[in-house]
Amino acid sequence: MMILLITAASMVEVSMGNKDMWNWGNYNLTDWWNQYQFNRTQTKPQNVVVGGSQNWQFGFNYTAWAIKNSPFYLNDTLVFKYAAPNATTFPHSVYMFSNYKSFLNCDLTRAKMVANTTQGRGEGFKFLIKRWQPHYFACGERNGIHCKNGLMKFAVLPAIRPFW
């Protein structure tokens, strides 16, 4: 294994020193390598602020947002930002439904709270997508009204990043 690695490494070195090796027919390996490295930087896990500059608030269409910003990948982190409630603002939170039907109906009876009304302040609440399964998110406030009327819900089926 070690020998193989060393051989491979020295082959790369030799070819680096030999410009012609970087061009096979019409295929420019320098271009390919640059593209490959660029792709790698694009495929690192990302922190995605839910709602973008709109953060996590009543009345923003998160379904549309999720469609526009998909795909999301395994190991990406969703960041939910919402201020802690005070006398003049409404509280928000983050819940997860275990199935599509509850998500569709905003039925919170068996949903799980993943962030309470104060956890979205400051840098926000971070949710790491680590399971390859559908994730159904919603605000759990006002017995489903934020979810239903406030459009504060969206679904994510994470994809697997093609490069590492």
Ligand X SMILES: *[C@@H]1O[C@H](CO)[C@@H](O)[C@H](O)[C@H]1NC(C)=O
Name the residues that contact Cu ion, by CB under 5 A: 92, 139, 141, 146, 152
Report if residue 43 touches ligand X, rule: CB under 6 A.
no
Q: Compute the least distance from the CB of residue 73 to ligand X, in Å.
A: 7
Q: Does 67 bind ligand X (CB under 6 A)?
A: yes
State the maximum Cα–Cα separation within the chain, in Å, rounded to a whole number.
Answer: 70
Instruction: Return the residues of window 124-163 that contact ligand X according to CB under 6 A.
Output: 151, 160-161
How many angstroms separate the CA atoms of 29 and 19, rounded?
10
31 binds ligand X (CB under 6 A): yes
- Least Cβ distance, residue 6 to Cu ion (angstroms): 58
Residues in Cβ contact with 119 at an 8 Å cutoff, skipping those fewer than 6 apart: 93, 94, 125
Q: How far is the CB of 153 from ligand X (least distance, A)?
A: 10
Residue span binding ligand X (CB under 6 A) among the ranges 3-11, 49-57, 84-92, 133-141: 84-92
139 binds, among ligand X, Cu ion, none (CB under 5 to 8 A by kind): Cu ion
Select from 86, 153, 151, 94 the least CA-distant residue to 125.
94
Phi, psi of 58 (to 5 degrees): -65, 130
The residue among 115 and 152 lying less far from Cu ion, judged by its C-beta, is 152
| Antiparallel, parallel or unpaired: β 135-138 and 94-97 | antiparallel
DSSP letter string over 90-108?
----EEEESSHHHHHHT--
What is the Cα 144 distance to its own chain's centre? 24
The residue among 86 and 109 lying less far from ligand X, judged by its C-beta, is 86
Q: State the residues that interact with ligand X by CB under 6 A.
A: 23, 28, 30-32, 35-36, 39, 61, 63-64, 67, 74-75, 83, 86-89, 116-119, 151, 160-161
